[in-house]
Amino acid sequence: MISSTFHTEYPALLWWDDDPKRRVADKIKNAARAYKRKFKCHPTTCYVNMEVTPPVGIKIGRGDSGATIRVLRKPFIMPCYYQVQREGDHAERT
């Protein structure tokens, strides 16, 4: 796990998971949980590698009130990395 800031006013967390048996959605949820523990709020966006088929509608948080995280493919994200962060208009405290 590597913390950094990347083109945003909010902190980002770069998560690495190369387990081929773990589903992409579970990897993103794990990254989101780590972000929540570290920064005390839910991320709104997860960037993944261009080769990843992004899952849709990943709920993070507890129960039906959990937030949904956007998953976007970007060429600057290396394979097996998941960058979670809060972004602009989507970044109200949750």
Q: What is the pLDDT of residues 56-67, one digit of tens each?
A: 778 776 655 567
CA 26, 67, 14, 51 dihedral sign is: positive
- 71 vs 93: which has the higher pLDDT: 71
pLDDT of 5 strictly over 50: no
Q: How far apart are CA 54 and CA 58, in angstroms?
A: 10
Structure tokens at 10: 């909010």
SS3 34: helix
Q: How far apart are CA 94 and CA 91, in angstroms?
A: 8
Instruction: Measure CA 47 to chain center.
Output: 7
State the average pLDDT for the chain.
83
- 11 vs 67: which has the higher pLDDT: 11
Amino acid present at 54: P
pLDDT of 92 strictly over 60: no
First to last CA, the chain: 22
Share of the chain above pLDDT 70, in %: 78
What is the rounded average pLDDT of the residues 35-61?
A: 89
pLDDT value at residue 58: 81
Structure tokens at 20: 């081929």
